């Protein structure tokens, strides 16, 4: 009877450990799937933002080309094929202007793109941190991970996107002020 009770307790304990491991594995898989999905979202945000900026940047060139055509037609119509032949000419003209609003719109698109991309990358960092904490900063995570062998994905494949300048600054531990214009020599 005593042996049966011990066997029953061990069975219940084994069942609890097994169910706990299943729950741990499910949660770990959810974290990994979330990291993969967030990385794909980063690619989506970057791709769409980059395309939007490129498309808007084409508009001033198109506008300038159209403006040249219109202006050339206006001037030819006004002064003839050879232009004005007058020695003195007193004409008040209203010439077409290139709107600075187009450039403001491009700048706003770049700013919006950068903010969306930063948010998406920040979310990826947060997901990775939460997953790493789940695996290492909890008793059950450390315990079950001895058997489970997580992470099962290579987390370095899901790093954020950065630039050579940022890598240089962090390697050297020094950052210079931002120079918008080269200094005059």
pLDDT of res. 131: 96
Domain locations in the chain?
Answer: 2-78+98-160
| Tens digit of each residue's pLDDT, the chain (185 residues) | 777 888 888 899 999 988 989 999 999 999 999 999 999 999 999 999 888 888 887 777 777 776 777 767 666 666 666 655 555 555 555 666 667 787 888 889 899 999 999 999 999 999 999 999 999 988 888 889 888 899 999 999 999 999 898 899 899 999 888 787 777 66
Q: Is 83 left (phi over 0), alpha (psi -120 to 50) or beta?
A: left
pLDDT of res. 180: 74
pLDDT of res. 78: 62
pLDDT of res. 100: 77
Contact between 32 and 151 under an 8 Å Cβ cutoff? The reply is yes
pLDDT of res. 24: 92
The whole-angstrom separation of Cα 91 and Cα 89 is 6
pLDDT of res. 102: 79
- What does pTM read for this prediction? 0.72
The whole-angstrom separation of Cα 152 and Cα 121 is 21
């Amino acid at each position: 009877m005593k042996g049966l009770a011990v066997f029953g307790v061990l069975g219940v304990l084994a069942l609890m450990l097994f169910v706990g491991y299943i729950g741990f594995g499910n949660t770990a898989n959810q974290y990994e799937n979330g990291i993969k999905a967030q990385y794909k979202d980063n690619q989506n945000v970057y791709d769409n933002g980059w395309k939007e900026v490129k498309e808007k940047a084409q508009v001033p060139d198109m506008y300038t080309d159209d403006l040249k055509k219109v202006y050339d037609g206006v001037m030819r119509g006004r002064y003839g094929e050879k232009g004005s032949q007058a020695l003195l000419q007193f004409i008040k003209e209203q010439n077409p202007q290139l709107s600075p609003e187009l450039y403001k719109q491009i700048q706003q698109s770049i700013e919006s793109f950068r903010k969306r991309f930063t948010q998406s990358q920040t979310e990826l960092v947060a997901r990775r941190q939460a997953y790493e904490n789940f695996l290492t900063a909890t008793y059950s995570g450390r315990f079950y991970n001895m058997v489970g062998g997580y992470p099962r994905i290579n987390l370095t494949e899901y790093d954020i996107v950065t630039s050579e300048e940022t890598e240089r600054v962090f390697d050297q531990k020094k950052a210079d002020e931002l120079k918008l214009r080269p200094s005059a020599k």
